Amino acid sequence: MEMRKIGVLGCGLMGSGIAQVTATAGFDVTVLEVEQKFIDKGFAGIEKSLAKFAEKGTITAQQKDEIRGRLKGTTNAQDLRDCDLMIEAIIENVEEKKKMYAAIDAVVKKDAVFASNTSSISITELMAATKRPERFVGLHFFNPVPLMKLVEVVRTVATANDVYESVFEFAKKLGKVPVRTSDKTGFIVNRLLVPYLLDAIRAYEEGVGSIPDIDQAMKLGCGYPMGPFTLLDFVGLDTTYYITQVMYDEFKERRFASPPLLKRLVMAGWYGRKTGKGFYDYADPNNPVPGKF
Ligand SMILES: NC(=O)c1ccc[n+]([C@@H]2O[C@H](COP(=O)([O-])OP(=O)(O)OC[C@H]3O[C@@H](n4cnc5c(N)ncnc54)[C@H](O)[C@@H]3O)[C@@H](O)[C@H]2O)c1
C-alpha cells in the first residue's frame, strides 16, 4: 500500500510538527484547520523550526524552501479527498474527534487510512465513528515532533495487518523509531508517564518540595532531561487534564486521577507554555518563574 499524499488534521502543537516531519520526508501534505489563523500560526512555527535546522546545517536553504513548498493549509475538508493517509491531531476531546472522523470519512477516498495521534482516547472508539474499521490505527507522536524519535503505532482488534504494517513503514520513512502497541488507554509511554506526573503534583500539594526543587531533584536524581512541572507545562495542562479524565474513566485508579491543583490551573486557563502561564510563568520565556500555589 503506497502512501504519498498525507492529510494532517489540526495544526496545533502536534499537527504542525507532524506536518513538518512529513513534508521533510518528501511527502505532499495538506493540513486541515477550523480557521485560517490556526494554519498561519502553525506554519509560522514550522518556518521557525525549519530555519533552526537550516542554521545548524541539518538542511540547506533550498531544502527548507522545498519542504515549505510541499505544505498546504486548508479549512475545506474536500481538499483532503486525494490523501492516502489522514493523521489526526485535533484537540483531545472525544466528541470533537468523532464528529471530525464522521465528516472526513464521508469525503475522502474509500481506501484512505486513518491514524489518530490521540494520547489517551480509545482508538477503537474513534474507529467506530467511521465506516473503515480495518483501515484505522493509532499513530502517537511525541512533542516536539521534529526532535522526538519515538512513534507508538497502535493496533485495534479490527486493524488489517497490511494497513498496520504500511503505517509502521511510513513511520520509519519519517526517520522515526516506531514501536508496536495495542489499544489500551495510554499505550506504553503515557501508561507509565502520567501517574508519575500526577504524583509530582500531589507531592507538591502535600508540601514535599517546591516546584523548582521537585524539578531539579528529578533532573539530577534520575537523569531526566527536564523535571515533571517543566514537562507538564510543555505538554499542556489542558491536554494532560483531559488525558487523566480518560485514563481514570478506564482504570478507576487514583494514580490516574487529576489532582485538584491541575484541575484549577486548567479552569483558570493556565495551560502551560502555550498560554504563557502554568506551573511556571513564561512572561520572560528564557527565565520562567515558578508559581506558588
Ligand atoms: N501536546 C502533546 O505533548 C501531545 C503529545 C502526543 C499526542 N498529543 C495529542 O495530539 C492531539 C493534539 O494535541 P495538541 O497538543 O497539538 O493540541 P493543540 O490544542 O495545540 O492543537 C489542536 C488543534 O486542533 C484544531 N482543531 C480543533 N478542532 C478541529 C477540527 N474539527 N478540525 C481541524 N482542526 C481542529 C485546533 O484549532 C488546534 O489548532 C491530541 O489528541 C493530543 O492528545 C499531544
User: What pLDDT score was predicted for residue 92?
Assistant: 86
Query: What are residue 277's DSSP bridge partners?
Result: 272, 281
**Among 2, 23, 26, 25, residue whose Cα is nearest residue 11:** 23
Supply the pLDDT for residue 256. Answer: 96
Q: Is the CB of 143 under 6 A from ligand 1?
A: yes
Q: Identify whether 20 is part of a domain.
A: yes
Angle among Cα 34, 99, 198 to the nearest 5 degrees reads 85
Classify residue 133 by its DSSP letter. G
Pair (43, 175) in one structural domain: yes
Q: Give the angle 240-253-275 at the CA atoms, nearest 5°.
A: 10
Q: Give CA–CA dist 156/31, Å, rounded.
A: 25
Beta strands at 5-9 and 280-281: parallel, antiparallel or unpaired: unpaired
Is 30 in the same domain as 145? yes
Determine the 3-state secondary structure of 264 from DSSP: helix
Q: Using CA atoms, how far apart are residues 43 and 55, in angstroms rounded to an integer?
A: 18
Q: What are phi and psi of 35, to 5 degrees?
A: -140, 150
Cell numbers standing for residue 107 = 469525503
The number of folded domains in the chain is 2
> How far apart are alpha carbons 239 and 236 in whole angstroms?
5
**Is any atom of ligand 1 closer than 6 Å to the C-beta of 246?**
no
Q: Do 35 and 175 sit in the same domain of this protein?
A: yes
Q: Give CA–CA dist 162/164, Å, rounded.
A: 5
Cis? peptide before 144, omega within 30° of 0: yes
The residues that are catalytic are 119, 140, 152, 190
Residues 241, 169, single domain; the answer is no
Task: Give the whole-angstrom CA distance, residue 73 versus residue 85.
Answer: 16
Given the CA of residue 116, which atom of ligand 1 is nearest to it? 41
Tell me: do 172 and 208 sit in the same domain: no
Claim to verify: residue 71 and residue 200 sit in the same structural domain: no
Vertex 220: Cα angle to 218 and 226 (nearest 5): 55
pLDDT at 162: 97
d(CA 259, CA 142): 24
Give pLDDT tens digits along the chain (293 positions): 789 999 999 999 999 999 999 999 999 999 999 999 999 999 999 999 999 999 999 999 999 999 999 999 999 999 999 999 999 999 989 999 999 999 999 999 999 999 999 988 999 999 999 999 999 999 999 989 999 999 999 999 999 999 999 999 999 999 999 999 999 999 999 999 999 999 999 999 999 999 999 999 999 999 999 999 999 999 999 999 999 998 999 999 999 999 999 999 999 999 999 999 999 999 999 999 999 99
**Domain extent for 267:** 191-284
Cell of 35: 480557521
Domain annotation covers residue 292: no
User: 290 near 280, Cβ under 8 Å?
Assistant: yes
Residue with cell 518556518: 47
CB of 109 within 8 A of CB of 140?
no
Domain boundary residue among 160, 182, 204? 182
Q: Is 195 in the pocket of ligand 1 (CB under 6 A)?
A: no
In a domain, 224, yes or no: yes
Question: Which residue has its alpha carbon closest to ligand 1 atom 40?
Answer: 92
> Which atom in ligand 1 lies closest to the alpha carbon of residue 242?
43
Separation CA 19–CA 106 (nearest Å): 23
* Residue burial 36-60, b: 16+ Cβ < 10 Å; e: rest: eebbeebbebbeebbeebbeeeebe
Q: Which three cell numbers stand for residue 150?
A: 519515538
**Sign of the torsion angle spanned by Cα atoms 190, 117, 169, 22:** negative
- Output the domain CATH number for residue 258: 1.10.1040.10
Is residue 216 domain-shared with residue 107, that is, in the same domain?
Answer: no
Dihedral Cα 28, 142, 276, 196, nearest 10 deg:
170
Q: With a 6 A CB cut-off, is 6 part of the ligand 1 pocket?
A: no
Q: Fill in the DSSP letter of residue 76.
A: -
> According to the model, what pLDDT value does residue 1 have?
74
138 and 221 co-located in one domain: no
Q: In this structure, are 177 and 64 located in the same domain? A: yes
Q: Both 235 and 100 in a single domain? A: no
Are 197 and 158 within one domain?
A: no
Which of 120, 147, 182 delimits the end of a domain?
Answer: 182
Residue 17 CA, closest ligand 1 atom number? 16
pTM reported for the whole predicted model: 0.91
Ligand 1 centroid to 97 CA: how many Å?
Answer: 10
Q: Is residue 293 part of a domain?
A: no
Domain identity same for 127 and 256: no
Quote the pLDDT of residue 30: 98
